[in-house]
């Protein structure tokens, strides 16, 4: 049942190229995203939304954070992102021109479902992004976009996250097309880049040896840091959650520019820092932040883009991901972080697929 892999998590990490391919299938026509078969809202109705709320928990919430950047950049609609367990209690401003996007692998997470119902009560339209056909989210949301990741068994979510990102890109590109906020050539370029992701993810999975080595090292520590800027910050939040969840090592994920406002005090000789530097627009700033932690003795693993010959000069070890559009990098950059969590957990001899205290689907509020 594990297809020759030692754990479901590793199997599911390796299934990502296929899961991404399946989630893209049938949704691109003549080089552009077309969701008109699945989303029943007309162009007029889509144009009426003046804000979007992403609401989800855990890993799906981290996908929502990427969703904010994607939708704001492509469709120029203001987006807020909320953890579902907080959303209802903060008296959010929901109107009939609000689109609430709930993201849930299982489609059964109690907090997410409660948020969905509350949003509908307030008159909002709800788009559900879920991986389970017939789940509560799939049944109750006004509009549904399925992720086609296939069953996810390991408690730690991997292929669900990358396919949630794909669904979000598809939605963002579709919205941008309808709203005419991006030129057709830009949309075509982004769509082409999306289609390359499965192959690029495959390449990335070929040789995990460098990550495995670093995992062996961090398995000895009790504390470490992840840093990144822009989209990389959202990705390190997911990397940090994954590591905590299955290796029981404490870590924090910081927007790298925030370090000097407090956290830098925790950086001491030998502490591992995992630094993402895949975003060109903030690359130089990110390198300065890496130098700040290096100067305090951190042992830094840098994750950058293929062809980046600079990063190696300021970090101790480098891992690269294939180049894609800056907006799409999270789909690739999260994969080494998933593998890092996996190999750290196995190096510590822990129960990777069923970490302590956790359930696959959280059906209590």
Active site residues: 360
Q: Contact with ligand M6R (CB under 6 A): which of 23, 105, 162, 278?
A: 105
State the Cα–Cα distance between residues 340 and 278, nearest whole angstrom. 17
Cα atoms found within 13 Å of the Cα of residue 117, Cβ hemisphere only: 8
Judged by CB under 6 A, does residue 57 bind ligand M6R? yes
Among 9, 71, 8, smallest CA distance to 335 is for 9
Spatial distance between the Cα atoms of 221 and 165, rounded to a whole number of angstroms: 31
Site string for ligand M6R, 216-255 (x = CB under 6 A): -------------------------x---x----------
- Between 256 and 295, how does the x/- string for binding to ligand M6R read (CB under 6 A)? ----------------------------------------
Under rule CB under 6 A, residue 59 binds ligand M6R: yes
**Which residue in 271, 259, 264, 320 sits closest to 299, CA to CA?**
271
If the CB atoms of residues 279 and 338 are measured against ligand M6R, the closer one turns out to be 338
Contact 318, 304 (CB under 8 A): yes
Residues numbered 149 to 178 that lie near ligand M6R (CB under 6 A) are 155-157
Q: From the CB of 84, what's the least distance to ligand M6R, in Å?
A: 8
In whole angstroms, the minimum distance from the beta carbon of 58 to ligand M6R comes to: 2
Give the nearest distance from C-beta 269 to ligand M6R in angstroms.
31
Closest CA to 332 of 319, 345, 313: 319
Judge contact between 252 and 259, C-beta under 8 A.
Answer: no
* By the rule CB under 6 A, 341 interacts with ligand M6R: no
Select 245 or 308, whichever has its Cβ closest to ligand M6R: 245
Instruction: Please report whether residue 113 would count as binding ligand M6R according to CB under 6 A.
Output: no
120 binds ligand M6R (CB under 6 A): no
Pair 140, 116: CB distance under 8 Å = yes
When the beta carbons of 190 and 241 are compared against ligand M6R, the nearer one is 241
Contact status: 314 vs ligand M6R (CB under 6 A): no
Count of residues in contact with ligand M6R, rule CB under 6 A: 16
Our CB check for ligand M6R shows the closer of 157 and 329 to be: 157
CA distances from residue 343 to 154, 213, 246, 280 in whole angstroms, order as listed: 14, 9, 10, 29
Q: Which of residues 85, 106, 278, 333 is near ligand M6R by CB under 6 A?
A: 106
**Residue number, 104 or 314, with CB nearest to ligand M6R:** 104
Sheet of 223-228: strand order equals 250-255, 223-228, 272-277, 299-305, 317-321
Is the CB of 305 or the CB of 337 nearer to ligand M6R? 337
**Does 23 engage in binding with ligand M6R (CB under 6 A)?**
no
User: What mask of x and - would describe binding to ligand M6R in positions 184 to 203, judged by CB under 6 A?
Assistant: --------------------
Q: H-type helices in 103-154, by residue range?
A: 110-121, 136-140
Q: Which helix (H) or strand (E) holds 265?
A: none
SS3 13: helix
- Of 167, 211, 171, the C-alpha closest to 19 is 167
Q: Strand locations in 63-213, DSSP E?
A: 79-83, 98-104, 125-130, 143-146
C-beta of residue 60 within 8 angstroms of C-beta of residue 82: no
Task: Name the residues that contact ligand M6R, by CB under 6 A.
Answer: 57-60, 104-106, 109, 112, 155-157, 241, 245, 361-362
């Amino acid at each position: 049942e594990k297809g020759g892999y030692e754990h479901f998590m590793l199997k599911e990490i390796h299934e990502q190229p296929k899961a991404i391919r399946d989630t893209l299938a049938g949704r691109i026509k003549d080089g552009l995203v077309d969701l008109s078969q699945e989303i029943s809202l007309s162009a007029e109705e889509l144009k009426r939304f003046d804000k979007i709320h992403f609401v989800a928990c855990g890993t799906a919430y981290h996908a929502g954070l990427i969703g904010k950047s994607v939708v704001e950049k492509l469709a120029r609609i203001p987006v807020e992102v909320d953890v579902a367990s907080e959303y209802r209690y903060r008296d959010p401003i929901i109107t009939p021109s609000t689109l609430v996007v709930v993201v849930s692998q299982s489609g059964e997470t109690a907090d997410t479902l409660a948020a969905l119902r509350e949003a509908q009560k307030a008159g909002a339209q709800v788009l559900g992004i879920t991986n389970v056909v017939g789940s509560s989210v799939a049944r109750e949301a006004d509009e549904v976009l399925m992720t086609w990741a296939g069953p996810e068994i390991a408690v730690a979510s991997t292929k669900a996250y990358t396919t949630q990102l794909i669904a979000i890109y598809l939605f963002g590109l579709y919205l941008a097309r309808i709203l005419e906020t991006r030129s057709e050539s830009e949309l075509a370029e982004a769509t082409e880049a999306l289609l390359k992701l499965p192959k690029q993810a495959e390449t990335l999975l070929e040789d995990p040896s460098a990550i495995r080595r670093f995992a062996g090292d961090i398995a000895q520590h009790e504390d470490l840091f992840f840093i990144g800027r822009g989209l990389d910050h959202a990705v390190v939040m997911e990397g940090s959650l994954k590591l905590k969840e299955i290796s029981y090592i404490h870590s924090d994920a910081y927007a790298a520019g925030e370090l000097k406002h407090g956290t830098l005090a925790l950086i001491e000789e030998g502490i591992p820092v995992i630094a993402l530097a895949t975003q060109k627009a903030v690359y130089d700033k990110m390198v300065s932040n890496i130098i700040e932690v290096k100067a305090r003795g951190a042992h830094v693993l840098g994750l950058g883009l293929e062809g980046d010959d600079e990063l190696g000069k300021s970090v101790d070890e480098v891992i690269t991901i294939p180049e894609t559009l800056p907006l799409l990098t999270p789909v690739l950059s999260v994969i080494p972080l998933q593998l890092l969590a996996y190999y750290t957990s196995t190096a510590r001899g822990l129960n990777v697929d069923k970490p302590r205290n956790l359930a696959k689907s959280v059906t209590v509020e």
